[in-house]
Structures are given as C-alpha cells and as structure tokens.
Amino acid sequence: MTVAVWLPFFASAGLALLAGPVAARISPRTGVWLFALTGLACAVATTWGLLLLTLALVDDIPGTYLEESLPIADPPSIAAAGALLIVLVRLVEVVVRRRNLLAVVRPALAGSDGELVVISDRRPVAFAAPGRPGRIVVTDSMLAALTAAQRRVVLAHERAHLAGRHSTALTVARLAAAANPLLIPVERAVGYLCEREADEQAARAVGDRVLVAEALTAAALLTRSSARAARAVLPVPAFHRLGVVDRVAALTGNHRRGVPPAWLGAVGAATVAAAATAGYATGALVGLVVQVGMR
C-alpha cells in the first residue's frame, strides 16, 4: 500500500514534465481537455492518497486491530494530514476567489443586452466573462487602437473562449494545481492551449491566420506600452515559455507540429498509473478493514 499511495505523486511529476513540450505541439482543442482531465485525475489521486495516509492514523486509536495490520509509520501519516489540510485550504481559496470575482463581474454585465460589453478604461483589455450567456468585455482603448479587421479577430477569439467553455477547463486545471502544486505546469499548459484554440477559431472565422497574428501582436504591444505608461511594476512571471510569441509563431507557420506518439503514451500512462494506484490503495485499505472487521 505504501508504494501505491506515493505513485500518483511520481505520475504527477511526470505529467508536469511532459506538459510544456506536448502543449507546444498538440492540437489545441484536444490538448485543453486532455490536460484539464489528466491533471484532474492526478490531483484526485494524490489528494486521495493523502487522505488514505491520514486515515492510517486511525490505527493509533486504542482497541482497534488496525494498529498491527497497517505497516505505515506515524510520521508520514502526520505529514500527510498536514498536507491534506493545506490542500483543503487551497481548494477553498480557489473556489471563493472565483465566486468573489464572478460576483463583481456578473452584476456589472447584467444590465447589458448584447454579446459585447464595452467599458471606458485606458487599460487595453479584452476578456471573455463566463456565464449564461457569456459576455465579451473589451475596453474602449483596446478597440480604438485596433483596425476593423483586428477588432473582428478579438471578438472571434473571445467568442471561442465562451463557446469552448474554456473558463471551465481553466478552473478545473487551477483546482488540480491547487490540490497538487506539482501540476502547476499542467495548469499553465491548459491556459496556453485555451488561447491557442481561440486563436485557431478566430483564424477560421476571419479566414486569415496572419491577420490573427497581427491582431495579437498589436494587442500585445499595446498592453506592454500601457503597462509602461502606467508604471505598473508587476513582477514578470519567471515561467514564461509558452506565451504570445509562441501563439504568433504557431499562426504564422513557424511551428513544430505533431506530438510523438510515445509522449502521448507517457501522458496516458501517468494518468492511468495515478488513477489505478489510487484505486488499488483504496481497495487495499477497504480489504484490510473488512479483514480486521471479520476477526
């Protein structure tokens, strides 16, 4: 049981290593959900593993036979209990933050009867606010800086986020990374692939990949100069490998295509290993309890 409990952690680390290279090559539509769901599976497996390790503390309760039956020492179990507590706090934090933000965004959008909501703000911003129906929010400074064709790209891009339920995929990935920080690269991969998929949908809508790349570049450079003007001293994330530059490269054809089957096999193997070992560990514990109960 001990090995089975730890295996999902190794599987998560494996998945994290594969996330970047696979995300750079995989078809974005497939990749978004592949990583959201494999990340979720690994997070569930590791969290379940922590729970099982914590439950092993039960053997300390006097009068139970579990004490002799479970070969797990106490220190790992105590550590697992602490980790489990941290995981729960982190998960609640993600849920509460999402709820708080939507609580601000939704009423702000409720009064508007249309797909597009424009707000007057000097920050060039465009985003898709999930909901029923979802809304596209763009600032006037963003619209004013783009050409008509580029504006159509932005609208098509945000529309694709809403239609593809990317907010759900991102939240799943974010929860997985909160439960298991080893999966943070997986969350980043999902974020990148959502953008890539929206770029591809936009390219299909306007019928011109280079136009999408130009719109992206224009918006990106705008965001940059505005940040400079506002003297926003934001810490630049160190982990920066998959970004706008890669998206532009993918659109302009300067892109590696196709994932080696072995890599996909490894992603599948990591997920299956995580899920199977979590299942095995559960079975082992249940079996033990039943065995003890029958004595």
Partner 1 sequence: MAGGRTGRRGAGQLESEVLAALWAAPTPLTPAQVQAAVDAGLAYNTVHTILIRLQDKGQVLRVVHEGRSAYSPATDAAGVAAERMRAALDAGTDRAAILARFVTELDPEDEAALRAALRKGRRS
Query: Within 34-93, which residues bind partner 1 (CB under 8 A)?
Result: none
Cβ proximity to partner 1, 48 vs 192, nearer residue: 192
Q: How far is the CB of 185 from partner 1 (least distance, A)?
A: 15
Cβ proximity to partner 1, 73 vs 144, nearer residue: 144
**Site map (CB under 8 A) of partner 1, residues 108-147, x = contact:** xx-xxxxxxxxxxx-x-xxxxxx-----xxx-x-xxx-x-
Both structure tokens of 71: 């070969």
Q: Identify whether the C-beta of residue 164 lies closer than 8 Å to the C-beta of residue 33.
A: no
Which of 32-51 are b and which e, b meaning 16 or more Cβ less than 10 Å from the residue's Cβ?
bbbbbbbbbbbbbbbbbbbb
Q: Which of 3, 58, 85, 101 binds partner 1 (CB under 8 A)?
A: 101
Q: How far is the CB of 197 from partner 1 (least distance, A)?
A: 10
> Interaction with partner 1 in 145-164: which residues (CB under 8 A)?
146, 148-149, 151-152, 154-155, 157-159, 161
Cβ proximity to partner 1, 16 vs 174, nearer residue: 174
> Interaction with partner 1 in 251-270: which residues (CB under 8 A)?
251-254
Q: How far is the CB of 273 from partner 1 (least distance, A)?
A: 27
Cβ proximity to partner 1, 218 vs 267, nearer residue: 218
Q: How far is the CB of 99 from partner 1 (least distance, A)?
A: 10
Residue 95 binds partner 1 (CB under 8 A): no
Distance CA 200, CA 115 (A): 20
Q: Give the phi and the psi of residue 164 in degrees, each rounded to 5.
A: -85, 5
Distance CA 15, CA 8 (A): 10
Both structure tokens of 180: 């298991």
> Interaction with partner 1 in 206-245: which residues (CB under 8 A)?
206-207, 209-210, 213-214, 216-217, 219-221, 223-224, 227, 234, 236, 240, 243-245
Q: How far is the CB of 144 from partner 1 (least distance, A)?
A: 5
Distance CA 79, CA 115 (A): 49
Please work out the total of residues on this chain that contact partner 1, with binding judged by CB under 8 A: 81
Distance CA 273, CA 281 (A): 12
Cβ proximity to partner 1, 6 vs 33, nearer residue: 33
Cβ proximity to partner 1, 50 vs 157, nearer residue: 157
End-to-end CA distance of the chain: 21
Q: Identify whether the C-beta of residue 245 lies closer than 8 Å to the C-beta of residue 221.
A: no
Distance CA 129, CA 123 (A): 17
Q: Which of 177, 284, 282, 289 is nearest to 239 (CA)?
A: 177
Q: Identify whether the C-beta of residue 202 lies closer than 8 Å to the C-beta of residue 163.
A: no
